Structure 1
Amino acid sequence: MRGALGGPRVLLRRLREVMAEPVSAQDRLDKIVVLIAANMVAEVCSVYVLRVDGTLELYATEGLNRTAVHLTVMRIDEGLVGTVAREAEPISLSNAQAHPAYSYRPETGEEIYHSFLGVPILRAGNTLGVLVVQNRAHRTYTEEEIEALQTTAMVLAEIIASGELTAMALPGAEPAARRPLHLSGLALSDGIGLGHVVLHEPRIEVTKVIADDLPAELKRLDAAIDTLRASIDTMLEDEGVARVGEHREILEAYRMFAHDRGWIARMREAVLTGLTAEGSVERVQSDTRARMLRMTDPYLRERMHDLDDLANRLLRQLTGRAGGPEHEPLPENAIIVARNMSPAALLDYDRTRIRGLVLEEGAATSHLTIVARALGIAAVGHIENIVGQVDAGDSIIVDGVSGEVHVRPPGDVELAYVDKVRFRAKRLEQYAALRDVPNVTRDGVEIELHLNAGLLVDLPHIDETGAAGIGLFRTELQFMIASAFPRTNEQLKLYRSVLDAAADRPVVFRTLDIGGDKVLPYMRAIEEENPALGWRAIRLGLDRPGLLRSQIRALLRAATGRELRLIFPMVSAVEEFDRARHIVERELTHLRRHGHGLPDRVLIGVMLEVPALLFQLDQLFSRVDFASVGSNDLVQFLYAADRGNPRVADRFDPLAPPSLRALKLIADKASAFGKQVTLCGELASRPLEALALMAIGYRKLSLSPASYGPVKAMLLQLDLGALSALVAPLLESADEPLTLRPLLKAFAEKNGLPL
């Protein structure tokens, strides 16, 4: 390396000058390869760009035959250049032609060059191309030269990612950096959203990567690291955090990474090659991300997110940027893209402008998903590395029906989705026309359809759909989106608004179902190995009766002069229901004693979601006024399959005979005792599953607002007697099918049922 460490710094300064020149993208690349070759005393410098078809095209060269530019193309599994792109790691060889991956291209004239150094051109861990230098001599490139070339590749990454090169490419051979992406994930919330990307935790855009004063940049980097370490230590010393299990472990991981000597040394070395402090953080993080994206170990992949978060914190320190995008004006059609987020974070945005939500994580039954459905936002989850594959402002389509996401979609795909949106709008008009049609099947069976709700934004849907009432109001959502525990008067105001919106229609309020995965931000979390099976819902309420009493008191006062329906969640023994009912009776006595108005009628029920209750149904139905089935938890507990874990959530089908028998047992027993039972889990919101529920005896379903129209349209065409006659024998047969799903689909198709 000429001039020791002076070479890279001189090169970066000259590159900055070239970047500022008003020339075409091709001219800029041509000048850059000449500068790199001269600076590194290399006889060849070439830039290969990854194309949308997965091949690598020679875009610029100094030293090889110029006629080979845009002519030489190789597959990503071909040659040394392909290996660098595929592995996202540098390759340095003193005799490249002896390497088994070497691929000779006669049009380039490279047969006279022996030494080879290739580095990936990376951005956010994604490979955009390869930068190569070559020499005739059998020489070994130093670590400093490799580091310098990697630093230079950062500048090229910005040129490729900017889209400058796209105009000079043939259709189908555009640079992959701006290529359209068609990604498949898990459909979370029905709907279709067309718009532009808004990153929930946007990457800090580093605008200055080339340093003017290296000692000053090292001081800035060291100071930012010290500040970062101090902030993490402060959080860990906080008394509230000190007892928190999972949150503390995350912060401990942050502290470990923040003190990692290797990580800090790599950033300092990057500064010494001529980068600014923030440029060095971005460089090291992009290299690390590229390696970790190619790992298969899920634990190591998870650590990538920790490092991303830590690097982002450091960049915020260096750039002085704070605050999130929820405080910035949103584009007219915003699609929020995030690794994951809380319901409160989603509600911080201007909801009138959000058209979709895309997550790297996310579960179909999470509270974030429930809020997205309530807001009518199309949502898709389990899109791996989506945050690293998009830029703010990219055009994007979210299909919450199929679980597909189209990033930077071609014109024909966009037009197809515009037509699809129009078709859905017509279907919604058709559903709206059914609003006042009685919910009666073709053979005269009445089915009550209610709505699930949990926020004030849900309430207008009651009148819009003509629903029979609210079959489940999740009271915990108000607590989850609040910054502090809602006072009794705040709760009273919400519950009264819900009853007012429902008018004379029934509303079933579920008492607080918190704990487990539903942690309130202002309550001290309890470390549990199996939180879904731990201290949550009614268990927490009975152990902290003051919490349950304040909520019940607010509900009773809100229902003055009206009917109040209450259900208790996660009850696993009749004795728990008796204790909870006793708290209601005590609160009624308290209100009478102090002269408060009372509800005209109080009906008390239970959520059937713990399998143990299946063996206590006689005792239970002799006590309760009504019951609701929480199929989300009941099915996951029946199969011991965590519904939030993508590896097992879809392993067992809720339409398999075991789960349908359990659900039928509940419906039959409720009928025998003359008690109403409503199924209010996610099963009721899917037309095919709703079909099965009606077949086994459910006459009251509570579903999401978006699902009301499709389920109603289906039941109006249904001959329930014929369906029940088909299903009943299968649940009693010894030779049962694995699942009734194919049979139900065939029945629907044969009878013209819209699904």
Structure 2
Amino acid sequence: MLTTLRRIVLAFGQEPELDTALQNMVGQVKTAMTTECCSVYLADYEQEHFLLMASDGLAKASLGRVAIGFSEGLVGLVGQREEPINIANAQQHPRFKEAPEVQEEDFNAFLGTPIIHQRRVLGILSVQQKQAREFSENEEAFLVTIAAQLAIAIANAETKGILSRNIKQKNRQYVQGIPGSPGLAIGNFYVSYPKAQLSSVSLTKVHQPSSQTKVFQHAVIKTKRDLRQMSDRMQGAIPEDALDIFEMYEHMLESASLGDEILAKINIGWNAESALKLVIEQYVVQFESVDDLYIRERATDIKDLGNRVLFHLQQEDINKPTPPENMILVAQEVTASLIAEYQHKGLKAIVSLSGSTNSHAVILARALGIPAIMGVGNIPLSSFQQKNAIIDGYSGEIFLSPDTATLNEYQHLVREEDELQEIVKQVIDLPAITKDGKSIELLLNAGLGAEFDDSMKNGAIGIGLYRTEIPFMERSCFPSELEQITLYKKVLNSFPRQPVVMRTLDVGGDKALPYFPISEDNPFLGWRGIRITLDHPEIFLVQVRAMLRANIGLGNLEIMLPMVSGTTEVDDAVRLINQAYFEVSNESDVAVAKPKVGIMLEVPSVIFQLSELAKKVDFFSVGSNDLTQYLLAVDRNNSRVAPLFDSYHPAVLRALNKIAEQAQVELIELSLCGELASEPGGALLLLAMGYDKLSMNAHNIPRVKWVLRHLDYKQAQLILSHCLMLSTAKQVHNYLNEQLELLGLGGFVRAGK
């Protein structure tokens, strides 16, 4: 059964047309279960019904026509209960709904199971039989298993279908994503295609097959040449039988069946990349669906060969568009490096088909003030090519080829956004103080870029977080002490009479050094932050020495330790910092200032050791991103659980409040440097809790300062008291947005002014 299941799922995912994929699937399930009818219904939430999309056994004329309400019939019952329904004689069941057009009067036995993706019922998969009997437990288990396996594929295929239907409509069209970075943008899509991965190719048809045939043939020639060169280079270095792989690849390319099948796909209108994808993936399905392990492993060879040919097909593409004006960058997964590549080329917004709202790409987008929408779904990238759009980073909506009315509406909102941005600049040089006199320090998060630009201060009175790991990540080996001194001195000089908090090397998790690879099953709970540098004192000591030497003559350095989980780590780190201090002092002819040392509060265990830790360090700084991740047990880079990651979760807010209360008891300086600080609602709550400093990206400093200067501290405390009594993050968001609207500050949490 496992082989059958694998074959059905692979075949479904490989078929480019949803209707065909569904029809093939029900036929295969019917055969596998030796039953007389298999059908699939897809949910339409606008119409609130299940639509019969494919069937092998029911009347063909009813496909796409018969709809069963969410609360009607046995299909509706399966959807309501969200579990399998197994009935021996369906026509005698009180929920049975007769639909003459499907011609099911001969069927008695019924087994239906929901197709569920991310808690949402996408459809119903059912089988029927003339004989009145209950389906066996094994049959039920098989149907449930295949429905669960197909859920993601159907979700992806459904998204593609919805998009294509939306594009054909004349009226208001939009695609919904997850808001990542707030703001509005009107511009033109520029698609960044992944390199040489067949899985990322978007199926596309063309009008001139002959040119595509030539492109494919040239790519094959170049691939053969590469294979011969690789074989020649490795001659004598590896055993002769290991070189057979290159010869096998060449034979496969010369195979009449493989080449002819690709050319046949090109001749019916597919472009060369699409034809290659369709044929290669068809072979992969055939190989992976057999029991023999050796043959299954050949599927990897087929994919590798296909990707090699695809590389040359992409090189042959001479029609690569240049980035348009007012560029909206869209990619399968927009990365921080992609943003860095295009930010100086008219980048106005980003759209990522996958990825999470807590990725480094989103953090960089927020720092640059660029709207970002994530998790749009498995939509073909080619669907965005050469289209204009409106990006609403507040709601997560993408309006494709908008009509005049929608365009005019958003042009007005964009003008209001620009006006608001100009208005908040008025407070750049003013203190962050409430109307009734409560002040708080606003500091800068820096280090995302290779260069620190002190023109981006935007009214910050210091640096609350300088990420020292970024320069480490952009080199091919560990930077020398002298290189680090030069860099740190420049940063310290940017705020010569104000504090600059430098976090010691914080790698591991999702931040890897190319020359210091770390392979772990669970990296976020593994070797990262202070754990690495304590295990490698030679790296830690060089970095701290460089910081201390750069600070000579300035005296504004503060050192912060990341990922601390207990007092022992603090003791060990402080001992090494003292060692470095004495070394630098002995080498220097002038006095060396001893910096303040603080720790990041991001591991939940430290919440219960604040009293002990306060006696060992000079300040606390909460890293709200990781603290939220660990408190909620949610990998913030995992798109499947991304909706669960929310710093406004009541548990997170109560933990932050407890930290603030304890810090006041211990009389220790407290700051917060996560994304929560850069949001108006978050800054309001943190002010009310009693945080001394908030550190954020430069773009948001004037916005947060404006909000704080236009409210009373007592109002903020009342709002906090109410939020701490709420039971869900959604309730907190709604209440905060409502209060900001009442204060006349709604333009900071939605489109417009």
- TM-score greater than 0.5 by the shorter chain: yes
Q: Where does residue 535 of structure 2 map in the other structure?
A: 543
The SS at the match of 1:424 is helix
**1:585 aligned to 551, 575, 578, which one?**
578
Q: What's the CA shift string for 1:8-29, capped at 9, x where partnerless?
A: xxxxxxxxxxxxxxxxxxxxxx
Q: Which amino acid aligns with 2:176?
A: S
The SS at the match of 1:193 is strand
Q: What's the CA shift string for 1:650-679, capped at 9, x where partnerless?
A: 326433432222112211222222211101
1:696 maps onto 2:689 in alignment: yes
Q: Where does residue 659 of structure 2 map in the other structure?
A: 666
1:752 CA drift (Å): 3.8
Query: Structure 2: how far apart are the matches of 1:627 and 1:233?
Result: 60
Query: Structure 2: how far apart are the matches of 1:560 and 1:323?
Result: 55
1:186 maps onto 2:178 in alignment: yes
Which ranges of structure 1 fall in alignment gaps of 5 or more residues?
1-48, 51-75, 78-85, 104-171, 240-253, 293-303
1:266 CA drift (Å): 7.4
Query: Structure 2: how far apart are the matches of 1:102 and 1:743?
Result: 43
Greater shift in the superposed pair: 514-523 or 410-419: 410-419
Q: 1:721 to 1:97 in 2, by over 3 A?
A: closer
Q: What pairs up with 1:242-321 in 2 under 5 angstroms?
A: 267-271=258-262, 273=264, 275=266, 279=271, 281-285=273-277, 313-318=308-313, 320-321=315-316
1:478 CA drift (Å): 2.5
Query: Structure 2: how far apart are the matches of 1:336 and 1:185?
Result: 15
Q: 1:232 to 1:307 in 2, by over 3 A?
A: farther
Q: What pairs up with 1:99-498 in 2 under 5 angstroms?
A: 101=63, 176=168, 181-201=173-193, 210=209, 221=220, 224=223, 227=226, 267-271=258-262, 273=264, 275=266, 279=271, 281-285=273-277, 313-318=308-313, 320-321=315-316, 330-349=323-342, 351-390=344-383, 392-455=385-448, 459-460=452-453, 465-498=458-491
Query: Structure 2: how far apart are the matches of 1:233 and 1:416?
Result: 63
Q: Please tell me whether the aligned partners of residues 360 and 387 of structure 1 are also in contact (alpha carbons under 8 angstroms).
A: no
1:498 CA drift (Å): 1.7
**2:712 aligned to 715, 719, 726, which one?**
719
1:647 maps onto 2:640 in alignment: yes
Query: Structure 2: how far apart are the matches of 1:350 and 1:324?
Result: 23
Q: What's the CA shift string for 1:221-251, capped at 9, x where partnerless?
A: 487379579989999xx99xxxxxxxxxxxx
Query: Structure 2: how far apart are the matches of 1:213 and 1:417?
Result: 40
The SS at the match of 1:348 is helix
Q: What pairs up with 1:6-17 in 2 under 5 angstroms?
A: none
1:569 maps onto 2:568 in alignment: no
Q: What's the CA shift string for 1:396-439, capped at 9, x where partnerless?
A: 33333332223333343333333222211111111001123321
Q: Please tell me whether the aligned partners of residues 374 and 458 of structure 1 are also in contact (alpha carbons under 8 angstroms).
A: no
Greater shift in the superposed pair: 571-580 or 699-708: 699-708
1:338 CA drift (Å): 1.2
Q: Please tell me whether the aligned partners of residues 439 and 446 of structure 1 are also in contact (alpha carbons under 8 angstroms).
A: yes
Q: Which amino acid aligns with 1:348?
A: E
Q: Where does residue 250 of structure 1 map in the other structure?
A: none
Query: Structure 2: how far apart are the matches of 1:177 and 1:746?
Result: 35
Q: Which amino acid aligns with 1:521?
A: P
Query: Structure 2: how far apart are the matches of 1:623 and 1:213?
Result: 69
1:260 CA drift (Å): 14
Over aligned residues, Cα RMSD in angstroms? 4.9
Q: Please tell me whether the aligned partners of residues 439 and 449 of structure 1 are also in contact (alpha carbons under 8 angstroms).
A: yes
1:321 CA drift (Å): 4.2
Q: Please tell me whether the aligned partners of residues 224 and 318 of structure 1 are also in contact (alpha carbons under 8 angstroms).
A: no
Query: Structure 2: how far apart are the matches of 1:445 and 1:216?
Result: 68
**1:553 aligned to 545, 560, 568, which one?**
545
Query: Structure 2: how far apart are the matches of 1:378 and 1:402?
Result: 11
Q: 1:186 to 1:462 in 2, by over 3 A?
A: farther
Query: Structure 2: how far apart are the matches of 1:707 and 1:229?
Result: 56
Q: Which amino acid aligns with 1:384?
A: G
Q: Where does residue 245 of structure 1 map in the other structure?
A: none
The SS at the match of 1:443 is coil
Q: Where does residue 629 of structure 1 map in the other structure?
A: 622
Q: 1:319 to 1:751 in 2, by over 3 A?
A: closer
Query: Structure 2: how far apart are the matches of 1:230 and 1:599?
Result: 59
Q: Which amino acid aligns with 2:175?
A: L
**2:699 aligned to 697, 706, 727, which one?**
706
1:539 CA drift (Å): 0.7
Q: Please tell me whether the aligned partners of residues 361 and 381 of structure 1 are also in contact (alpha carbons under 8 angstroms).
A: yes
Query: Structure 2: how far apart are the matches of 1:608 and 1:340?
Result: 30
Query: Structure 2: how far apart are the matches of 1:660 and 1:175?
Result: 42
Q: Which amino acid aligns with 2:525?
A: L
Q: Please tell me whether the aligned partners of residues 564 and 599 of structure 1 are also in contact (alpha carbons under 8 angstroms).
A: no
Q: What's the CA shift string for 1:599-626, capped at 9, x where partnerless?
A: 5341110000001111111110011111
Q: Please tell me whether the aligned partners of residues 570 and 610 of structure 1 are also in contact (alpha carbons under 8 angstroms).
A: yes
Query: Structure 1: how far apart are the matches of 2:212 and 2:723?
Result: 78
Q: Which amino acid aligns with 1:489?
A: L
1:354 CA drift (Å): 1.9
1:560 CA drift (Å): 1.5
Query: Structure 1: how far apart are the matches of 2:302 and 2:420?
Result: 46
Which ranges of structure 2 fall in alignment gaps of 5 or more residues?
1-16, 19-41, 44-51, 66-163, 195-200, 239-244, 285-298, 749-753
Give me the TM-score of the superposition, normalised by structure 1: 0.64
1:708 CA drift (Å): 1.9
Q: Where does residue 650 of structure 2 map in the other structure?
A: 657
The SS at the match of 1:650 is helix
Indicate the percent of aligned positions where both proteins have the same amino acid.
34
Q: Please tell me whether the aligned partners of residues 187 and 401 of structure 1 are also in contact (alpha carbons under 8 angstroms).
A: yes
Query: Structure 1: how far apart are the matches of 2:391 and 2:215?
Result: 45
The SS at the match of 1:689 is helix
Q: What pairs up with 1:11-160 in 2 under 5 angstroms?
A: 101=63
Q: 1:176 to 1:533 in 2, by over 3 A?
A: same
The SS at the match of 2:533 is helix
Query: Structure 2: how far apart are the matches of 1:599 and 1:336?
Result: 48
1:748 maps onto 2:740 in alignment: yes
Q: What's the CA shift string for 1:265-313, capped at 9, x where partnerless?
A: 9743424538489955422526899999xxxxxxxxxxx9x99998565
The SS at the match of 1:335 is strand
Q: Where does residue 684 of structure 1 map in the other structure?
A: 677
Q: 1:217 to 1:511 in 2, by over 3 A?
A: closer
Q: What's the CA shift string for 1:574-595, capped at 9, x where partnerless?
A: 1111111222112122222323
